[in-house]
Amino acid sequence: MNVAYATALGDDRFSDGIVAIAAAEGVATDLIPRLAGRLPGLYLIETDPEGERYFHYWRDNSPARELFEAPEWGKIAESLVAAQVIYFSGITLGIYSNNALGRFLAVLELARKNGVTIAFDSNFRPAVWKGDVQRARTVFTEALKRVDVALPTFDDEALLWGDATPQATADRLRALGIAEIIIKNGQQDALIVAGGRQEFVAVPEIVEPIDTTAAGDSFNAGYLAARLSGTPPEAAVAAAHKLAAEKIRHRGAIMPRPAAAVH
């Protein structure tokens, strides 16, 4: 399975390191334009004694914000339209200008018409939206109209939309025509709505977390990898639970290769 990461970076040694890590993991980097004189965005993560994380951002001038306004954006768009799956999150939506958002959403629409599956995790972070909840809702709604697979976390949905239960989230997303919905709910069951069926899939093992950073990303990766291999949704969620549980046993966003390899 070929995987590429589309973003923009600077021409500094920190950006060099990011590209090197991606390449070492087999992730194609040809969709990463390098902007002269720029530095990548920065954020720090603090964890409390329970392993829950808190974010601090310094990325107002991040090159990633300009991916769809860089000279190479047309090349990025052509590659996305030719992909099998496009995966993005609400962080992407939160950092783009209105012009870049218009281009990105148009690319998603064209890609979907071309048979590309669009997967999305809302990943709502109030700081990214500078407190403008109404703008976040408007932009998310436009994006969700172009989504095939939704992978939200219930806490994020409750914060942004006021959803009282995962079922309320599922009903709202289903009303937008999304065919496959998986709602993550921490150590509780994940709710699947797909193929005309609805099912809760329990977390197989309650793990005492060391660091919850990237737990949701790991779940999404496990789910999408399993689905692309032909695994049905219920079994894919079980695989996703397993990968996320292993991730939170380790500090940092990327767990050691030996731990990742077994999954």
What amino acid positions are annotated as catalytic residues? Answer: 217
Rounded to whole angstroms, the Cα distance separating 240 from 121 reads: 14
**The 3-state secondary structure of the chain, one letter per residue:** CCEECCCCEECCHHHHHHHHHHHHCCEECCCCCEECCCCCCEEEEEECCCCCEEEEEECCCCHHHHCCCCCCHHHHHHHHHCCCEEEEEHHHHHHCCHHHHHHHHHHHHHHHHCCCEEEEECCCCHHHHCCCHHHHHHHHHHHHCCCCEECCEHHHHHHHHCCCCHHHHHHHHHHCCCCEEEEECCCCCEEEEECCEEEEECCCCCCCCCCCCCHHHHHHHHHHHHHHCCCCHHHHHHHHHHHHHHHCCCCCCCCCHHHHHCC
